[in-house]
Amino acid sequence: MCRSSAKPRFCVIAMATMACLVCATTIDGQTRQQYSAVPLLQISELQKQIKTAEAAHGSAQQLATLWIALAGAYQEVVDLKSAENAFAHAIRLLHGTYAPGLYASALDGIATVYFGTGRAAMAERCLRRAVELEHTAGDLTAETITRRDLAAALIKELKFAEAEKQASDVLHLLEAQAHPNVGEMIVIYLIRSRATCEMRRCVYALQDVDRAEALAVSNIGTDPIDFITIPALRGMEQFRSGAVEQGDRTVQQALRLVDSRVDIPASFQIHFREALLEEYSQLLGSAHRKREKKRVDEEIARTKAQQPGCDRCSVSAASLGLFP
Domain count, the chain: 2
Residue 310 located in a structural domain: no
- Kindly state whether residues 39 and 181 are assigned to the same domain: yes
In a domain? residue 323: no
Q: Is residue 253 part of a domain?
A: yes
* Dihedral angle, C-alpha 157, 297, 230, 105, nearest 10 °: 40
The predicted structure's pLDDT at residue 313 = 41
* Residues in a beta bridge with 322: 15
Q: How far apart (Å, rounded) are the C-alpha atoms in residues 139 and 156? A: 26
- Please state, in angstroms and rounded to a whole number, the distance separating the CA atoms of residues 314 and 133: 29
Say whether both 250 and 181 belong to one domain: no
Domain match, 37 and 74 both: yes
Neighbour-count burial of 141, counting CB atoms closer than 10 A to its CB (0-12 exposed, 13-18 middle, 19+ buried)? middle
**Based on the domain organization, do 154 and 205 belong to the same domain?**
yes
For the residues of 51-73, what is the DSSP string, one character each?
HHHHHTT--HHHHHHHHHHHHHH
Same domain? For 62 and 181 the reply is yes
Cis peptide bond N-terminal to 202, omega within 30: no
Each residue's pLDDT expressed in tens, for the chain with a length of 324 residues: 444 433 333 333 333 333 333 333 332 333 333 444 445 778 999 999 999 999 999 999 999 999 999 999 998 777 899 999 999 999 999 988 889 999 999 999 999 999 888 898 999 999 999 999 999 888 888 899 899 999 999 998 999 999 999 999 999 989 888 888 899 999 999 999 999 999 999 999 999 999 999 999 998 888 888 888 999 999 999 999 999 999 999 999 999 999 998 887 777 788 888 889 999 999 999 999 999 999 999 999 998 887 655 444 444 333 334 455
pTM (2 d.p.) = 0.80
Q: What confidence score (pLDDT) does residue 265 get?
A: 74
Same domain, 198 and 251: no
Please give the backbone phi and psi of residue 322, each rounded to the nearest 5 degrees, phi first.
-70, -25
- Specify the 3-state DSSP secondary structure of 100: helix
- Residue 30's contacts (CB-CB under 8 Å, 6 or more residues apart) are 2, 3, 4, 72, 75, 76
Residues 76 and 205 reside in one and the same domain: yes
Q: Is residue 243 part of a domain?
A: yes
Q: Are 150 and 250 in the same domain? A: no
Please classify residue 114 by burial: count the beta carbons closer than 10 Å to its beta carbon, then call 0-12 exposed, 13-18 middle and 19+ buried: buried
pLDDT of residue 176: 86
pLDDT value for 266? 77
Task: Give the domain range for residue 48.
Answer: 1-222
Q: What's the pLDDT at 28?
A: 33
What's the pLDDT at 309?
A: 53
Q: Are residues 184 and 252 in the same domain?
A: no
For residues 162 and 217, membership in a common domain is answered with: yes
Q: Is 194 exposed, middle or buried (0-12, 13-18, 19+ CB in 10 A)?
A: buried
Same domain, 164 and 180: yes
